[in-house]
Amino acid sequence: MKVISIFFLLLHFGIIAADNAEGAYVSFKNYGRDVALFTSETANIYTSNIGQEFYLNHKIIIQVEKGYKDKFTHLTGVFQTQLLSELSNSDIVLISPKKGQFLTVYKRLENISSVEAVQPDYAIVKKHHRTSKARKGVNIHFKPPNRLQNSQCEVSISPTRIAIIDDGFDFSSTALSPFNVLLEYDADRQEVMIADTTRVAGHGTMVASVIASQLNSKPISKMSHVAEVVAIQQASTLNSAMILAFSVAQKMNADIVNSSWTLPFVSQLLASVIDDGLLHGDVSFVIVSAGNHAQDACISNKLSVIEGVTTIGALSKDGSIAPFSNYGNCVDYYAPSTALLQKQNKRIAVSGTSSAAAMATGEFSYLLSCGLSNNDIEIKNNKLK
């Protein structure tokens, strides 16, 4: 189990008092803690009692008991409903109120007994992701990094299925030809991406390339494809889009889900979807990057706090923790931060916890294709409990 400081636990679950929520535009509970949002001078941007700024699209996400998801279509003030995720014991539904009815519908939903949780749909305005800076100070104590082991097996049974949640996919590169791309889906637009659409190679392409490079370094013989890929475009970090992205990955029976987002705040609803896929679905690993902020991952990237998520930090060439890498008890493994990729006639170096997490994704995919279980892989890599 990931160890978190007593203070963080108390703060996270609301035992330490938060700022007064009086005068809030809207408030919600997250892991029992009251999160209050206050209007600002900028339209649709709200300050909060937890030090984060939120963008609201004035839609509502609810977690509802099984059998009740269709009961909200005709609720007064509701324009549209959409099922985002089917969990084993409940459903996550997106509610779109009619114009000017957001607060009225929100209060109605809070008073319905079958509704287990209500939150506004939001995105964190001041996101902290994929920015590198050196760690400040020299007095930080690190436990010995749990390094990812590079393994080989005698026989590869079948390719695994990898879902990559990111932005900027372009699979036209020959370096990605070993992948069998099953689906390209845009979780922000909620539509399948057409194959002949003009693509911009971005961060998602880099992640996919590192995964492919790691798999291509293995003796995977007599397999036409090294892995099956589900590419899920998700650039907005809207909570509803992130929930939908993980839900699509699970519906596509992904063995591994890779995400490079580093989030300073995570909804319990998103965490429920991730947790349900690991416990009751076919997902063996959800692999996230620790983040490039030279901070404690438990605080800087709340995805790392979710039980069952595998968080990857970065190593320097000398085997020490990279100066930019997030660290701490929420980091499960550390992998090399730098990967060399072929681009046209050049070899380019990419570096960061995203590339380290991609390398780990390729390694775990390979081991799953060898017939190892997720428990076998964790034991093989001496995962620190």
User: Where among 74, 109, 124 does a domain terminate?
Assistant: 124
Residue 219 placed within a domain: yes
105 and 175 in a common domain:
no
Query: Do 77 and 199 have their domain in common?
Result: no
Residue 119 amino acid letter: Q
Token representation of residue 187: 């979780």
CA distance 241 to 190: 8
Which of these, 275, 259, 256, 237, lies nearest to 63 by C-alpha position? 275
**Residue 136 domain flag:** no
On whether residue 154 sits in a domain, the answer given is: no
- Give dist(CA 369, CA 364) in Å, integer: 9
pLDDT band at residue 59 using 50, 70 and 90 as cut-offs: very high
Catalytic residue among 209, 213, 272, 354: 354
Mean pLDDT over each residue of the chain, to the nearest integer: 85
Active site includes 141?
A: no
Same domain, 109 and 176: no
Highest mean pLDDT among 38-42, 194-198, 200-204: 38-42
The answer to whether position 207 is within a domain reads yes
Given 12, 90, 121, 166, the catalytic residue: 166
Could you say which DSSP state residue 296 is in? B
Amino acid at 142: F
Distance CA(337)–CA(321), nearest Å, equals 9
Residue 256: what pLDDT?
98
- The answer, yes or no, to whether residue 263 has pLDDT greater than 70, is yes
In three-state secondary structure terms, 144 is coil
Backbone dihedral angles phi then psi of residue 292, each to the nearest 5 degrees = -110, 45
92 & 224 share domain: no
For residues 166 and 272, state if they share a domain: yes
296 catalytic, yes or no? no
Per DSSP, helices labelled H in 66-156 are 102-110
What would the mean pLDDT of 262-277 be, rounded to a whole number? 97
Closest CA to 383 of 326, 332, 320: 332
215 and 315 fall within a common domain: yes
Give residue-wise pLDDT tens across range 156-170. Answer: 678 899 999 999 898
Lowest-confidence pick of 187-196, 304-313, 337-346: 337-346
CATH number at residue 298: 3.40.50.200
**Same domain for 80 and 18?**
yes
- Domain edge (last residue) among 69, 99, 124: 124
What percentage of the chain reaches a pLDDT higher than 70? Answer: 79
Give yes or no: residues 304 and 177 share one domain: yes
- Tokens found for residue 335: 């992998």
139 in a structural domain: no
Give pLDDT, residue 258: 98
Neighbours of 50 (CB within 10 A): 17
Residues 253 and 107 in one domain: no
Q: Cα torsion for 229, 235, 239, 242, to the nearest 10°?
A: 0
pLDDT tens per residue across span 121-131: 999 996 544 44
CATH code of 96's domain:
3.30.70
Instruction: Provide the pLDDT for residue 145.
Output: 66
Domain boundary among 67, 102, 124: 124
Q: What is the mean pLDDT of residues 24-39?
A: 97
pLDDT of res. 118? 99
Structural domain includes residue 261: yes
* Local structure of 3: helix, strand or coil: coil
Single out the residue of 385, 348, 369 nearest to residue 225, CA to CA: 369
Structural element, H or E, at residue 276: helix 268-280
166 included as an active-site residue: yes
Q: What percent of the chain has pLDDT over 90?
A: 63
Q: How confident is the model at residue 12 (pLDDT cuts 50, 70, 90)?
A: very low
Specify if 303 maps to a domain: yes
Number of domains the chain contains: 2
Asked if 248 contacts 155 with a C-beta cutoff of 8 angstroms, the reply is no
Considering the domain boundaries, does residue 101 fall inside one?
A: yes
Q: Are residues 83 and 181 in the same domain?
A: no
Nearest to 258 by CA among 129, 130, 360, 147: 360
Whether the per-residue pLDDT at 143 is higher than 70: the answer is no
What pTM was computed for the model?
Answer: 0.87
CA distance 334 to 320: 9
Whether 106 and 211 map to the same domain: the answer is no
Candidates 12, 129, 203, 293; catalytic one: 203
Which residues span the domain enclosing 91? 6-124
Tell me: do 232 and 83 sit in the same domain. Answer: no
Tokens 């036409």, located at residue: 224
